[in-house]
Amino acid sequence: LTTNSATVVWDNSSDHSIRVNYSNGECMAPNPAILKVNVNAAPSFTVSEISGCTPLTVTFKNTSIAGADKYTWDFNDGIKYTTINADEVVTHTFMNELAGAKTFVVRLTSSSESGCMMTSEQVIKVEPAYSVGSPISQKGCSPYEVKFDNAFPGSKTYSWQTEDGTVLSTESNPKLTFKAIDGQATTYIVRLIGESFSGCTATVNNTITVFPLPKAGFTKSADEGCSPLFVKFSNSSSDGAKTYAWDFGDGGASVSLSDPDYSFISPNGKQEQYNVMLTARNEFGCVDIYKSVVKVFHTPQADFSVNPMEQTLPAKKVLLTNLTKFGPWSYIWQFGDGTATQSGDVLGHEYSKAGYYTISLTATGDVCASTKKIGVIINDGAPGTAFDCETEGCAPFSLKFTNHSVNGFKFLWDFGNGNHSTEFEPKITYFEGGTYNVRLEVYNNLGEMTFSEKVITVHDEPIAFFRSSAKKVRIPGNNVFFVNLSENANTLIWDFGDGTSSTDFEPVHEYSRTGIFNVSLKITSAFNCTDEFLLTPGIEIYSEEIKLANAFIPSKDGSSGGIYITGDPRNHIFHPNLANGDVDKYELQIFNRWGNLVFQSNEVERGWDGYFNGKLCSQDVYVWKIKLRFIDGKQITKVGDVTLIQ
């Protein structure tokens, strides 16, 4: 360079030779020198934030090229930090206590041992402190409405959120409603997030606790009715209800019972309507109210007087005066003797007989009615007694008494056999013979007594009884003997069951036909008392006589198998006529004229139907043979002929 002065920049650290040639135009004189150059690395860094709200935390990263021996951070707030690491990351928090924004010039200075230094700067702007509001904690009953008035004014935006980030409102002071969940006390964290006009945000957490409501409710035994109306209340409150307060709508004191009873009236002569209110309270002090109406109709109060209250026959008239408070009522008088009337404020009534009578007056309004009752006494005159009945009979002797007593209030019968009765006309049965004194005592309602007596004569009952010589008799040739075991018999009649009778004491009887005959004996005593005995089971009369037809006409409709019906007029089957149950063993055989067997039966119920091998036999005379053994052991064999007619 040809100049009086020069500037040279070396970008590397080294020793550099410099030669300066001085010239005066004619001569040149060199002046060499050695210059040592130390190069300093220029500092650089990055920041995470260049502005923000206090407290503002900023991350600084040293991006300087290695070469400096140390690095010094100056945060412009009195805090410095020195490190030898070129790539170190440093975090610093800036605070602004001022009301307005505050700037901090952050410097990073790199230096070397040779004394070389370089500095890099960055301005950080810190906004003043920002608060969106003060926290609140409130408690209430579901549904609980909260007026949030704790937000500070001057914010750019407001956001009221739940813990999960759900935005509830963006107003500055909103009204929000919260409910208890699943009947349990529920706590809500309501977070207010605000943003200032300088872009700063702040958060405040509010705690809202919501208590569940009880559920009030009740049923009642009546919705409406006549005064006084008695109502039973059944408390059906639920959901944690603990204490109760009842207001029955009539101005009376509150009742704290769970299930009260209450009587409602209509004191002013007109219909009343009461609003019944139940307040149910739970352990958190939360309340629920249930209301229901009770309607009460006015009831007229029946009233009357009676004169006299008691009298003795023949006096029997009472005077009645209606004392019911005037109103549009209808009336019914009932006199206790089965009679009634619907009118009359003053009236008399006569009774036909003594007794205690309840007189009632019923007053009826549009809906309701009431009844008053007063008892009156009509005393009997002197009692009189008389009765009728049969006085003689045979045991068992049943009597019905006819009572002719007068002025009787109470009756006492003594039948003379240890039995008594208080009926007006009782019945009695004497089972044993004898003489009985029957006494009737009659009392009037004043306790006066009179009596009557009768003598009842009861004759012993005759006893009819007998035995027979046999229970089963074969005829002809055998008689039945009867042994009379009767008592107190004066006359007697035997009935042998076959249409014949006898008055003998112990008769002997011969039956002329078979069958079962019920024998009876009826006897009469000297006092005309009767008894009858029937021998059961009856006497069985049987016969060993055999009867067979000499001809029969078989059916042409085919073989019937020989089963016959006794007395069948068609005469289709040839069979013997035997007494039922008399035969122990039986055999019937039929032969043709050549002696060939064409039919045989060992059953009494089966005869010959005229068929052989399924074909009708020809008209001819056939020989029959029968063998019998009777139940008494006797055996009979008989032979005869029969004509088959076609």
Using one digit for the tens of pLDDT, what is the confidence trace for 229-263? 999 999 999 999 999 999 999 988 888 999 999 99
Assess whether 555 and 640 both reside in one domain. yes
Whether 232 is in a domain gets the answer: yes
pLDDT given at position 16: 58
Query: In the chain, which residues have pLDDT < 50?
Result: none
Closest CA to 161 of 171, 149, 169: 169
Q: How many CA atoms lie within 13 A of 445 on its CB side?
A: 16
Amino acid at 471: K
Assess whether 538 and 551 both reside in one domain. no
The sheet with strand 449-459 has its strands ordered as: 392-394, 449-459, 434-443, 410-414, 420-421
Tokens of 196: 């200032």
Assess whether 452 and 503 both reside in one domain. no
Amino acid at 309: M
Whether 65 is in a domain gets the answer: yes
Count: domains in the chain: 7
Whether 422 is in a domain gets the answer: yes
Amino acid at 147: K
Assess whether 454 and 367 both reside in one domain. no
> Which burial class, exposed, middle or buried, applies to 255 when counting CB atoms under 10 A from its CB (0-12, 13-18, 19+)?
middle
Whether 18 is in a domain gets the answer: no
Is the distance from CB of 191 to CB of 133 less than 8 angstroms?
no
Assess whether 472 and 441 both reside in one domain. no
Assess whether 276 and 322 both reside in one domain. no
Is the distance from CB of 205 to CB of 240 less than 8 angstroms?
no
pLDDT given at position 116: 86
CA distance 169 to 191: 11
Distance from CA of residue 481 to its chain's centroid?
A: 76
Tokens of 138: 């409130």
pLDDT given at position 535: 94
Q: Is the pTM of this model over 0.85?
A: no
Assess whether 291 and 309 both reside in one domain. no
**Which of 330, 353, 379 represents a domain boundary (last residue)?**
379
Whether 11 is in a domain gets the answer: no
CA distance 332 to 362: 5
Quick check: bond before 32 cis, omega within 30? Answer: no
Closest CA to 132 of 116, 110, 150: 150
pLDDT given at position 264: 93
Whether 28 is in a domain gets the answer: no
The CATH number for 431's domain is 2.60.40.10
Assess whether 409 and 470 both reside in one domain. no
Assess whether 558 and 637 both reside in one domain. yes
Tokens of 600: 């045989």
Assess whether 190 and 268 both reside in one domain. no
3-state percent breakdown (helix, strand, coil) of the chain, nearest 5: 0, 55, 45
Any idea how long the chain is? 646
pLDDT tens column, 309-329: 999 888 889 999 999 988 888
pLDDT given at position 642: 94
CA distance 353 to 368: 34
CA distance 520 to 492: 10
> Whole domain around residue 520: which residue ranges?
466-543
